Copies of this chain bind each other. A is one copy, B any other.
Amino acid sequence: MQDKTFLMIPGPTPVPESVLLAMAKHPIGHRSNDFSDILKEVYADLKWVFQTKNEVFIYAASGTGAMEAALSNLVNQGDKVLCLIIGNFGARWSKVAQSRGAVVEKLEVEMGEVIDPVILQGVLSKDVKKEIKIVTLTHSETSTGAKNDIKTLCKIIKNHGAISVVDGVTSVGCMDVKTDEWGIDVLVSGSQKGFMIPPGLAFLTASKRAWAIHEKCLYPSFYFDWTAHKKAVLEDTTPWTPAVNLIFALQAALKMMKEEGLENIYSRHKKLALGLRKACRALNLELFVKNDENASYAITSIYPPKNISVPDIRKVFKNDFDIVVANGQNQLKDKIFRMGTLGFVSERDLITAVGSLEAVLLKLGHKFEVGAGIKAVLETLC
Q: A residues engaging B (CB < 8 A)?
A: 5, 7, 9, 11-12, 14-15, 20-21, 23-32, 60-65, 67-68, 72, 77, 95-96, 99-101, 190, 192, 198-200, 218-223, 225, 239-246, 324, 326
Chain B nearest Cβ from A333, distance in angstroms: 11
Neighbouring B residues of A65 by C-beta, 8 Å:
60-61, 223, 240
Neighbouring B residues of A21 by C-beta, 8 Å:
24
Given contacts A60-B60, A61-B65, contact A199 B241 (CB under 8 A): yes
Q: Which B residue sits closest to A202, measured CB to CB?
A: B60
Q: How many copies does the complex hold?
A: 2
Given contacts A11-B241, A68-B222, A246-B243, contact A24 B26 (CB under 8 A): no
Please measure, in the bound complex, the distance between the C-alpha atom of A116 and the C-alpha atom of B317, giving whole angstroms: 63
Are A63 and B32 in touch, CB under 8 angstroms?
A: no
Report which of B12, B95, B100, B245 forms a contact with A23, defined as CB distance below 8 A: B245
Neighbouring B residues of A246 by C-beta, 8 Å:
198, 200, 243, 245-246
Are A14 and B26 in touch, CB under 8 angstroms?
A: yes
Please measure, in the bound complex, the distance between the C-alpha atom of A26 and the C-alpha atom of B3, giving whole angstroms: 10
Are B219 and A99 in touch, CB under 8 angstroms?
A: yes
Chain B nearest Cβ from A332, distance in angstroms: 14
Please measure, in the bound complex, the distance between the C-alpha atom of A96 and the C-alpha atom of B220, giving whole angstroms: 10
Please measure, in the bound complex, the distance between the C-alpha atom of A99 and the C-alpha atom of B219, giving whole angstroms: 5
